[in-house]
Amino acid sequence: MSEDQLEEFKTIIHLIGERIKTLRINAGYKSYEVFAWENNLSRIQYWKMEKGTNCTLKSLYKILKIHNLTYQDFFNSLEDK
């Protein structure tokens, strides 16, 4: 992966994390820990996703299901940023 591709990847992961955090807050959760606990998610994994340091498709799928979003809706919302 080139340096430019790596930077682009980091930017995308960061945007995903910001969007996940926004979804949580909009759902009425101030704490990522409470959100993770109430939705049967690993707190550490969820925190890493919000921070943009780790995001698996499996975990993203779970979060999108919690918020009743499709991948298409989620990624389209990123393009608006």
pLDDT one-digit tens code per residue, 37-75: 999 999 999 999 999 988 889 999 999 999 999 999 999
- The Cα-based distances of 29 to 39, 49, 56, 58, 72 in angstroms read 11, 16, 22, 22, 24
Q: Residue range 31-36: average pLDDT?
A: 97
pLDDT of residue 78: 86
Structural domain for 65, as ranges:
3-73
**80 pLDDT tier (thresholds 50, 70, 90):** low
CATH number, domain at 28?
1.10.260.40
Within-domain flag for 80: no
Query: Does residue 51 form part of some domain?
Result: yes
Domain count, the chain: 1
Residue 78 domain-assigned?
Answer: no
Is 50 part of a structural domain of the chain? Answer: yes
Model pLDDT, residue 61: 95
Q: Is 81 within a domain? A: no
> Does 55 fall in a domain?
yes
Cβ 16 vs Cβ 52: under 8 Å: yes
Q: Do residues 63 and 57 touch, judged by C-beta distance below 8 A?
A: no
Q: What average pLDDT does range 24-46 have in this prediction?
A: 96
Q: Is residue 79 part of a domain?
A: no
Q: Is the pTM of this model over 0.85?
A: yes
- Work out the angle at residue 74's Cα, subtended by the Cα atoms of residues 72 and 80, and round it to the nearest 5 degrees: 100
Predicted pLDDT of residue 54 = 84
